Structure 1
Amino acid sequence: MAARSHAPLIRLARFKVEELQKQMAEIERIRASIREQITRLEESVPEEQSVASESREGYLAYGSYARSVIQRKDKLRASMEEVDAQADDIRARMEQAFAELKKYELLEERRLMRLQDAARMAEQAEMDEIAGQRLRSAH
């Protein structure tokens, strides 16, 4: 009895890996967006300081602006930590999915090798039988 093909399991495992890779790509896009937002905030501070120094009203308003920038950066950093935690989780799941895929691929490779070995043995047995028949008919 021949062992079943592992092809369906391999397809499922590949699908899982691909889905996790897509999730990781999305996480990387989110990370880049957060980094960009932080950079823009940091770049806006000197500009706002310059504007604030030009008038008394601007100087008084700058304090609340600076606090809002700090709060926004803190929120973005907290978001980045959450995204990093999600990335770590996806990375762990991806390692597990890759290991599962590799296991199924190795099982399928062994199954195919066993089938090839069985076919070679059957062919050799057939050749041996033919050689035996020729030997018997020669005597």
Structure 2
Amino acid sequence: MATRSHAPLIRLARFKVEELQKQMAEIDRARAALQDQIDRLEESVPEEQAIATESREGYVAYGSYARSVIKRKENLRASQEEVDAQAGELRGRLETAFAELKKYELLEERRLARIEESVRAEEQSEMDEIAARIRSGAH
């Protein structure tokens, strides 16, 4: 009753999990980069407001700057939402891949346990046979 090893399936499933984890790390980096850009935009506003109050031209130009900052933040937030949607979809695929990997690992554990039990039973049978011969030889 030799069953085949699940090692190739485990390797494939592990590879899939690792690839999905790499993709998730890339998404996390993209999310952090977008947040960093938003933070820098928000930090620049007070500086630009201070400069705008120094002259009439600056004051007039600030309105245009403020609108561009608002539009840029909207675009960045839309990008964040897209990245978050990708992360959610990828997280689902990663959970499925982890479950598949665990399933194959459990199947392999059970297969190895059955083999070990079979070997133990065979060894016990041999020991019983030796003991029976010794007893029959002693009588």
Normalising by structure 1, we get a TM-score of 0.97
Question: Distance between the aligned counterparts of 1:134 and 1:41, measured in 2?
Answer: 89
Question: In structure 2, what is the equivalent of residue 78 of structure 1?
Answer: 78
Question: In structure 1, what is the equivalent of residue 112 of structure 2?
Answer: 112
Question: In structure 2, what is the equivalent of residue 99 of structure 1?
Answer: 99
Question: Distance between the aligned counterparts of 2:73 and 2:138, measured in 1?
Answer: 95
Question: In structure 1, what is the equivalent of residue 87 of structure 2?
Answer: 87
What displacement does 1:138 show?
A: 2.1
Question: In structure 1, what is the equivalent of residue 24 of structure 2?
Answer: 24
Question: Distance between the aligned counterparts of 1:77 and 1:101, measured in 2?
Answer: 35
SS at match of 1:51: helix
Question: Distance between the aligned counterparts of 2:136 and 2:39, measured in 1?
Answer: 90
Question: Distance between the aligned counterparts of 2:45 and 2:132, measured in 1?
Answer: 94
Q: How many residues align?
A: 139
What displacement does 1:132 show?
A: 1.4
Identity %: 73
Question: Distance between the aligned counterparts of 2:136 and 2:24, measured in 1?
Answer: 69
Question: In structure 2, what is the equivalent of residue 52 of structure 1?
Answer: 52
Partner amino acid, structure 2, of 1:37: Q
Gaps of 5+ in 2: none
Q: Deviations over 1:76-125 (max 9, x none)?
A: 00000000001101111111011001101100000000000000010011
Question: Distance between the aligned counterparts of 1:136 and 1:53, measured in 2?
Answer: 111
Normalising by structure 2, we get a TM-score of 0.97
Partner amino acid, structure 1, of 2:82: E
Residue 122 (str. 1) matches residue 122 (str. 2): yes
SS at match of 2:3: coil
SS at match of 2:130: helix
Gaps of 5+ in 1: none
Q: Deviations over 1:23-74 (max 9, x none)?
A: 1111111111111100110111111111111111111111111110000000
Question: Distance between the aligned counterparts of 2:111 and 2:102, measured in 1?
Answer: 14
State the 4+ residue runs in structure 1 displaced beyond 4 angstroms. Answer: none
